[in-house]
């Protein structure tokens, strides 16, 4: 991608006031640029297991119902 196109994208990001779009962009960029060490990765897996054990998750069925309302 050329520099002009990148600059135009940055301008659009700066100008947007839609938090949902900005959060999506942030999420995509975080996924692309994150590199974890094995210990950090294992910590994240353990944290995810704890969240599941504590009931902090949403079932596929509930997620589908929620997304139908979008």
The per-residue pLDDT for range 13-66, each reduced to its tens digit, is: 999 999 999 999 999 888 876 677 889 889 999 999 999 999 998 999 999 998
- The count of structural domains within the chain is 1
Supply the pTM of this predicted model. 0.43
Give CA–CA dist 70/62, Å, rounded. 13
The residues, ordered by sequence, that sit 6+ positions from 57 with a Cβ below 8 Å of its Cβ are 51
Q: What pLDDT shows up at residue 11?
A: 94
Give CA–CA dist 52/45, Å, rounded. 11
Expressed as residue numbers, the domain containing 12 is 3-68
Q: How far is CA 55 from CA 43, 46, 47, 48, 58, in A?
A: 18, 14, 12, 11, 8
The residues, ordered by sequence, that sit 6+ positions from 30 with a Cβ below 8 Å of its Cβ are none
């Amino acid at each position: 991608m050329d520099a002009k196109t990148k600059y135009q994208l940055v301008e659009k990001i700066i100008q947007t006031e839609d938090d949902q779009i900005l959060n999506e962009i942030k999420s995509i960029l975080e996924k692309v640029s994150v590199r974890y060490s094995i210990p950090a990765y294992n910590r994240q897996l353990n944290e995810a297991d704890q969240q599941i054990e504590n009931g902090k998750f949403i079932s596929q069925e509930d997620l589908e119902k929620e997304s139908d309302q979008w």
